[in-house]
Amino acid sequence: MKPATRWVGLLGAALAATAAAATFGLASIDGWSADEITLLASIRLQELPPAPPDTSNAYEASPAAASLGRQIFFDRRFSGNGSVSCASCHEPDRQFQDGKPLGQGMGTGARRTMPVVGAGYSPFLFWDGRKDSLWAQALGPLEDPAEHGGSRLAYTHLLKSHYRAEYEAVFGALPELDRLPEDASPLGTREQRAAWRSMSEDARQQVSRVFANIGKALAAYQKTLRHGESRLDRYVDGLVDRDPRAFAQLSAQEKNGLRIFIGKGQCITCHNGPLLTDQHFHNTGVAPRHPGQPDPGRRAALARVRDDEFNCLGRFSDAQPEQCEELRFLATDDHAMASAFKTPGLRNVALRAPYMHAGQIATLTGVVRHYAAAPPAQAGHSELKPVRLSESEVRDLVAFLGTLSAVAGPVHPSN
Ligand code: HEC
Ligand code: HEC
């Protein structure tokens, strides 16, 4: 059974059990029934299993690859103008995001920067899931003119002049580059594309392989990032261990917000598991940033991920074809996915306004009001049903979302 399905199953059991507890007067702990506690226990950080291995990246568990990836992540030379690194938008002391409504690199993007901690749990990356691995994802911004705006050949030269030993220790010898142009890519400017066409098929493949390896090193680094423990985790640990000293971790208002979150707010149907996401895509009727220009979201990304040269079934993947289940069983035309976006995890959510895929909503109060109103979608169909919430319940839910912040923030492990 998929984890998400398991958690939804627990939800049903908890709701039934609440009714049973009310009828039969079963004992509760700090006001929660045994089945509610089972459900709450499932969202604790403790329950987070190790991220599933990515069979398309043979280097993801290599500390040497992660160390190279960390250096590239912060190195601004990997850009068209020498001033953009991954960390320009994914700032470590801001949960690896930037607090802006739209990503800002060499230009302005169309969507909001996503936090990267926990991204290794997602079968599909980006708000629309147009990449099927963390390493393939990293290659997008590197050649996007609005982000790093550089080319795969320029990056290969850069590796050779600055990271040769580190690279070759992990991935083997870099190709001979002396007779190749400085700058070339199949995706870039007219000049970059012309230069790419002038190269032999063999040289193009070797450069694309180095480019894929840059992604694999970046993925290995990002997979080492972890969430810190939040007050909610400590509270639920206390419920599970029946330790009354932990009951004060949450205020009465926050506990009421939690009750709404798992109860009548139905938030947990999509925001479930220890990361508070089902890793699926939903249309929740969030208005496009520019009225009249709807973002097609997941629906338009389905063909893109299928056709991506860097996907799990492609020549740069380390997986056997039968290991690429997510991709092989992908329905590539799905009306229900029109303007659907990935459910974001909610850990640390109070620390990263503005919200939604293009920063359309400025505050958490605004987000909760959106769920209360459940407006019809401007494109596709919203899955939401209005939730009747009083003003004080809106405040309770917002207060609860604040309990998901980690005191220590994302931490680097010792390796
Ligand atoms: C200009 C700002 C910018 C730069 C530079 C940038 N990103 Fe991003 N990142 C974004 C935005 C915006 C999104 C969401 C874009 C979308 O969904 O279309 C994103 C999404 C992601 C995601 C997806 C997370 C998820 O849960 O699906 C990861 C991982 C990521 N970036 C890693 C990187 C890495 C690694 C680099 C460096 C190679 C990088 N980013 C460079 C802005 C940036
Ligand atoms: C049908 C699935 C679904 C339900 C139910 C749901 N959410 Fe969401 N949530 C999403 C999706 C999808 C997004 C991103 C939407 C977008 O960007 O267009 C989101 C975004 C959010 C965000 C913004 C996070 C960020 O980083 O931008 C918050 C906060 C949030 N939801 C809280 C809640 C709360 C509280 C409830 C219950 C009242 C709830 N959600 C119910 C799917 C859902």
Question: What pLDDT digit, counting tens, does each position of 66-104 carry?
Answer: 999 999 999 999 999 999 999 999 999 988 999 999 999
91 lines ligand 1 (CB under 6 A): no
Q: Is residue 81 classed exposed, middle or buried when 0-12, 13-18 and 19+ CB atoms within 10 A define those classes?
A: exposed
Percent of the chain with pLDDT over 90: 88
- Give residue-wise pLDDT tens across range 135-166: 999 999 999 999 999 999 999 999 999 999 99
Nearest bound ligand to the CA of residue 97? 1
Ligand 1 within 6 A of CB of 90: yes
User: If you take atom 10 of ligand 2, which residue's CA is the nearest one?
Assistant: 343
- In 3D, which of 263, 281, 410 has the Cα closest to residue 344? 281
Which position has the token pair 């032999």?
200
Give the N- to C-terminal CA distance of the chain in Å, as an integer.
33
Q: Which residue has the CA at smallest separation from atom 1 of ligand 1?
A: 105
**Planar angle of CA 338, 342, 344, nearest 5 degrees:** 145
pLDDT class of 332 with cuts at 50, 70, 90: confident
For a pocket test of ligand 1, which of 96, 113, 148 has the largest count of ligand atoms closer than 8 A to its C-beta? 113
pLDDT value of position 70: 98
- Tell me, using a 6 A CB cutoff, whether residue 84 lines ligand 1: yes
Tell me what the mean pLDDT of segment 169-185 comes to: 96
Nearest to 115 by CA among 133, 132, 127, 129: 127
**Residue 365: count of CB within 10 angstroms of its CB:** 14
pLDDT of residue 409: 44
Rg (Cα) of the chain, in Å, rounded?
23
CB-based contact 305:131 (threshold 8 Å)? yes
Count CA atoms closer than 13 A to 196's CA, side-chain side: 19
What tokens were used for 361? 């909503």
| Residues framing ligand 2 (Cβ under 6 A) | 265-267, 269-271, 282, 284, 286, 341, 343-344, 346, 349, 355-357, 364, 367-368, 371, 383-384, 387, 397, 401
